[in-house]
């Protein structure tokens, strides 16, 4: 029997909490550079300056004010992102290890799926690691995280921020579409299920 939306969603949330905890520990353990601290302070100061201008009505609230603010903070934000490059790489490795390698080695189960007693199965054969890769690319932020890192070294400042926002929106839509498909379809198949010819089933069925 194919797993219900509620079980799949619950497993997704559990996995997300586990990964978030791991990533938070990683970012806490890795020391923050002095340059990052300086950039963070500069970003806060810039935000305060523009906030004071608006509150004190020193300038009109119009598009140009926000454009000036974005122009000033975008290079700071971009440099802060570059300063956390090592953390980003490690986090991507964690994503790959958990969502792809661990899930493949554990017969289609993450900890969330194990807790909810569901697992990924191949429809017409044995589950392959390629299936886990493509599923994780769509639903588990693996591909989007890799794209963010590539963009970090192929774009700059405002272009980087716009591109990462577009990527976030695209993958957010993919997750939303998958959720709607799971609710609406009788067979409970999502986008990643159809592409990889897999399905998520309840254990013991």
Instruction: Name the 3-class secondary structure at 97.
Output: helix
In this model, does residue 201 exceed pLDDT 60? yes
Compute the average pLDDT of residues 164-176. Answer: 93
- CA dist., res. 104 & res. 128, Å (int): 7
In this model, does residue 154 exceed pLDDT 90? yes
- The 10 Å CB-count burial string (b at 16+, else e) for 12-30 is bebbeeebeebbeeeeeee
Compute the average pLDDT of residues 179-189. Answer: 91
* pLDDT for the residue 57: 57
For residue 119, what are its two tokens? 């697992």
User: How does residue 60 score in pLDDT terms, banded at 50, 70 and 90?
Assistant: low
* pLDDT for the residue 30: 83
85 in Cβ contact with 92 (< 8 Å): no
Q: 122-136 pLDDT, tens per residue?
A: 988 789 999 999 999
Q: Count the neighbouring beta carbons within 10 Å of the beta carbon of residue 64.
A: 10
In this model, does residue 144 exceed pLDDT 60? yes
Q: 29-57 pLDDT, tens per residue?
A: 888 888 888 988 988 888 877 776 665 55
In this model, does residue 205 exceed pLDDT 60? no
Reported pTM = 0.82
Q: Is 77 exposed, middle or buried (0-12, 13-18, 19+ CB in 10 A)?
A: middle
In 3D space, the residue among 141, 145, 115, 131 whose CA is nearest the CA of residue 195 turns out to be 131
């Amino acid at each position: 029997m194919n797993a219900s939306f509620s079980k799949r969603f619950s497993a997704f949330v559990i996995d997300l909490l586990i990964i978030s905890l791991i990533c938070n520990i990683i970012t806490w353990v890795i020391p923050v550079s002095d340059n990052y601290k300086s950039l963070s302070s500069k970003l806060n100061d810039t935000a305060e300056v523009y906030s004071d201008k608006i509150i004190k009505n020193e300038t009109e609230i119009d598009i140009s004010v926000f454009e000036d603010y974005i122009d000033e903070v975008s290079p700071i934000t971009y440099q802060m992102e570059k300063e956390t490059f090592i953390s980003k790489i490690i986090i991507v490795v964690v994503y790959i290890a958990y969502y792809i390698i661990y899930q493949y080695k554990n017969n289609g189960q993450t900890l969330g799926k194990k807790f909810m007693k569901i697992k990924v199965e191949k429809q017409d054969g044995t589950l392959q690691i390629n299936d886990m890769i493509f599923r994780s690319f769509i639903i588990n932020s693996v591909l989007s995280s890799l794209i963010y890192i590539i963009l970090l070294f192929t774009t700059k400042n405002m272009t980087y921020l716009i591109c990462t926002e577009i990527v976030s929106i695209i993958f957010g839509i993919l997750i939303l579409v998958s959720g709607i498909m799971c609710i609406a379809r009788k067979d409970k198949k999502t986008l990643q299920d159809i592409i990889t010819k897999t399905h998520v089933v309840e254990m013991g069925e």
